[in-house]
Amino acid sequence: AGDPSTSHDTRGAQLRDVAQMCEQKLRDWDGAIDAWKQICQLDRSDEQAREHLFKLLEKLKRWDELAPLIEQEVIAQDDDEK
pLDDT digits (tens, 9 = 90+) for 41-54: 998 889 999 999 99
Tens digit of each residue's pLDDT (9 = 90 or more) over 51-66: 999 999 999 999 999 9
Q: How far apart are CA 15 and CA 10, in angstroms?
A: 9
The average pLDDT across 56-81 equals 89
DSSP 14-73: HHHHHHHIIIIII--HHHHHHHHHHHHHH-TT-HHHHHHHHHHHHHTT-HHHHHHHHHHH
CA 18, chain centre distance (Å): 12
What is the pLDDT at residue 8?
78
Q: Which residue has the higher pLDDT, 61 or 73?
A: 61
* 17-43 tens-digit pLDDT: 999 999 999 999 999 999 999 999 998
